[in-house]
Structure 1
C-alpha cells in the first residue's frame, strides 16, 4: 500500500498537515492537491481545531508542480484545468479557514510551493530554506495566488522584478523583504513552530478569524469600507465568550484563559 501523500496529526488544538512526497521534494500533483483539499475541509469542520500548521516531509517544503504528473500541464487547456480544479480551491480554503494557518517552511519552496507558503497567515522558515519563484524559467506565470500575494507583500515594483527575473531568495532575504514573517536558525526551527502554534492555539480563535477576514479585505477596500467592516467584525468579536474572559482577566489582573468560543 502506498504511503499517504498528506500526513495529518492532531496535537491538542493544533492540527498539522505535512506534504508527504519527500522523494520529489513534495512536488505537487493533482492527487496530492486533492488530498490536501480534503484534509483542509476536515479541519474546517473540526470544532476542536484552533490552529493549522502546514509543512513538508524530508528536506523540502514544496518544489512546486510536479512536471511529471502526466496530463496536468502539457498545454494551455491542461494548465487551466489543473489551476482551476486543484490549486485554486486549496488557496481559497487556506485563506478562508476560520483559524490561523502557519506555513512552516523547512526547505525549498519553489513555484506553486512558494505561492502555497505565502497563502498562509504566518510564514516562518528555517534559515537553510529558500524561496524560488521559478515560473519564468519554464515560460509560465505565478499561480496559486502568487500574483495576488506578491504585490501585497512586496509592492508592485519588487513583485514584478521577482516574478520576471525568477531569482531565488534565501529565507533571510525573504524575511528582510517582508515576504515572510521570520527566518530562524535551523536548530531553533521546530521549537519556534511549536511555540508559535501553541501560542495561537491559546489565543481567542474567533477574534483571530475575524482579524484575518479584516486584514485580507483591507487590501482592496476604501477607507470607508474598511471602517464599516471593522465596526461589524468588532461587534461580532465583542459577542464572544473569549471577549468576556478577556475583560474578566484584565480587571482581575490575571492571564486570560481563552477557549476559542
Structure 2
C-alpha cells in the first residue's frame, strides 16, 4: 500500500479498498483524480475482489469536493482537465462489474457527495456530519453527475429542494430520503461494511455484475427494453458454471465455491 499517494488502493482478502488521503478534508485537485484513476483501474483489474470500499483516512471528512482555493487560482483550462478526469473516474466506477461501496464517516460535500453517488451502495456512520451539494451558492451546478444520480436516487422534488437550496443535511436525513442505504454506529460501521463487502467478495461475480447492469438499465430504458436485457442476462447466467455450482452446493448443503465462469 502506497500511503504517499493522495488516493491509494489495497486488497484485503476478497475486498478491495480505495482510500482518500489528502488531509485535512480530502479536497481534490488533478493530482488527486489521477491517483484516483489508478486506484479505480487497479480495483477493476483485481480478479480477487467483487466489492470495493471507498473510504477516507480521516474520520472528519470523506471528501469536501474540489479544492476551491486551487480551483479559483487555476485557469479555466487547468480546471477543465481536473473536471474531465473526475467525470471519467465516476463513470468508470458506475460501468465497472465491481460493486463500489461508499463508507461515509465524515463530511461528504459537493464533489465528494458526487463520488458517493457514483458508488453502488452508500453506508454512513450514525453521527453528526454534513452531507450536501452547495454548488448553487457558487453560481454553479454539480458537474460530475450530481444532478442526474441524485435525482435517480431521491426523485425530482427532493433533488430540486436539495440542489436549489444548496443546504447540507445530516446522514440521518440522507438515510430518510434514500440517499444513504443504511446507518451504522461509529463503532460498528467498519465491521458492517466489511461483512457486506465480504459477502459480495465470496459471491458469484457474474451474477453480481449482471445484477448491477440490470438495475442501472432500469433508469434509462423502457420497461420492455429493460425486461429484454434482464432475460438475456438471466439466460446467460443459467448456462454458467457458477449457476451449476450454486445449485449443486444447495443440494449438497455446503457453501458454494464460485469461479466467475
* Residues 56-82 of structure 1: per-residue CA shift (max 9 Å, x gap): 11121000001122578654x555443
| Residue equivalent to 2:173 | 173
Contact 1:127 1:170 in 2 (8 A): no
Instruction: Give the direction of change, closer, same or farther, for the CA distance of 1:156–1:73 in structure 2 (3 Å limit).
Output: farther
Distance 1:130 1:66 in 2: 17
Using a 3 Å threshold, how does the CA distance of structure 1 residues 79 and 6 change in structure 2: closer, same or farther? closer
- Range with greater deviation from structure 2 (3-12 or 215-224): 3-12
Shift of 1:196: 1.2
* Displacement of 1:18: 0.4
CA distance in 1, matches of 2:47, 2:35: 20
User: What does residue 194 of structure 1 align with?
Assistant: 194
Q: Name the CA distance, whole Å, in 1 between partners of 2:181 and 2:26.
A: 22
Higher mean displacement: 234-243 or 219-228: 234-243
Moved segments of 4+, more than 6 Å? none
When normalised by structure 2's length, the TM-score is: 0.92
CA distance in 2: counterparts of 1:158 and 1:56, whole angstroms: 27
Alignment of 1:110 onto 2:109: yes
SS of 1:186's partner is: coil
In the alignment, is the contact (CA less than 8 A) between 1:123 and 1:180 conserved in 2? yes
RMSD, aligned CA? 2.0
TM-score (norm 1): 0.92
SS of corresponding position for 2:246: helix
Q: Distance in 2 between matches of 1:101 and 1:259?
A: 20
- Determine if contact 2:9/2:42 at 8 Å carries over to the other structure: no
2:130 is matched with: 130
Structure 1 alignment gaps of length 5 or more: none
1:14 pairs with 2:10: no
Bigger mean CA deviation after superposition, 47-56 or 149-158:
47-56
State the alpha-carbon separation in 1 of the partners of residues 215 and 41 from structure 2.
22
Change beyond 3 A, Cα 1:72–1:121? farther
Distance 1:22 1:254 in 2: 46
1:37-56 matches, cutoff 5 A: 37-56=37-56
Q: In 2, Cα distance between the equivalents of 1:74 and 1:184? A: 42
Partner Cα separation in structure 2 for residue 134 and residue 213 of structure 1: 30
Tell me what 2:209 maps to. 209
**Partner Cα separation in structure 2 for residue 82 and residue 217 of structure 1:** 28
Partner SS for 2:187: helix
CA–CA distance in structure 2, aligned partners of residues 73 and 173 of structure 1: 35
Superposition pairs for residues 136-175 of structure 1, below 5 Å?
136-175=136-175
Q: Quick check: 1:72–1:79 contact (8 Å CA) kept in 2?
A: no
How many equivalent residue pairs?
A: 258
Q: CA deviation at 1:22?
A: 2.2
